[in-house]
Amino acid sequence: MTAPALERPRFSFTAYCTPHNDAFDDIRDAVATGADGIGLSELKIETGRENELHDAMEQAGLVSTFCVPRSHTLLGMPFGPASQLKLSLQQRVDMIAASIERLARFNPVAIVIAPGATGDPIHPAGPVEDVYEALPIIADVAAEFGQQIAFELLGQRRGSAISTIPDMVAVMDAINRPNVGLALDNFHSWPEEGLYEHIHEHIDRVIAAQVCDVRIDERSGLDREMPGLGRATAVPWVANLLDAGYRGWWEFEVFSDDGTFGNDFPDSYWHMPHAEFLRMGRQHFETVWQEATDLAAAMQRRSRGR
Per-residue confidence (pLDDT) for residue 18, from 0 to 100: 98
- Burial (0-12, 13-18, 19+ Cβ within 10 Å), 150: buried
pLDDT above 90 as % of the chain: 88
Residue 171 main-chain phi, psi, to 5 deg:
-65, -45
Mean pLDDT (whole number) for 257-263: 95
**pLDDT class of 306 with cuts at 50, 70, 90:** low
How far apart, in whole angstroms, are the C-alpha atoms of residue 243 and residue 260? Answer: 38
Q: Are 93 and 75 in contact (CB under 8 A)?
A: no
- In this model, does residue 2 exceed pLDDT 60? no
Per-residue confidence (pLDDT) for residue 82, from 0 to 100: 45
3-state secondary structure 4-33: CCCCCCCEEEEHHHCCCCCHHHHHHHHHHH
How far apart, in whole angstroms, are the C-alpha atoms of residue 303 and residue 306? Answer: 6
**pLDDT class of 78 with cuts at 50, 70, 90:** confident
Mean pLDDT (whole number) for 116-128: 91
pTM above 0.75, yes or no: yes
Q: What DSSP line would sit under 64-106, residue for residue?
A: E-EEB-SS-BSS--SSSSGGGGGS-HHHHHHHHHHHHHHHGGG
- In this model, does residue 243 exceed pLDDT 80? yes
**pLDDT class of 81 with cuts at 50, 70, 90:** low
Per-residue confidence (pLDDT) for residue 85, from 0 to 100: 60
Domains contained in the chain, CATH given? 11-305 (3.20.20.150)
- In this model, does residue 28 exceed pLDDT 50? yes
Per-residue confidence (pLDDT) for residue 5, from 0 to 100: 57
Segment among 216-220, 224-228, 283-287, 298-302 with least mean pLDDT: 298-302
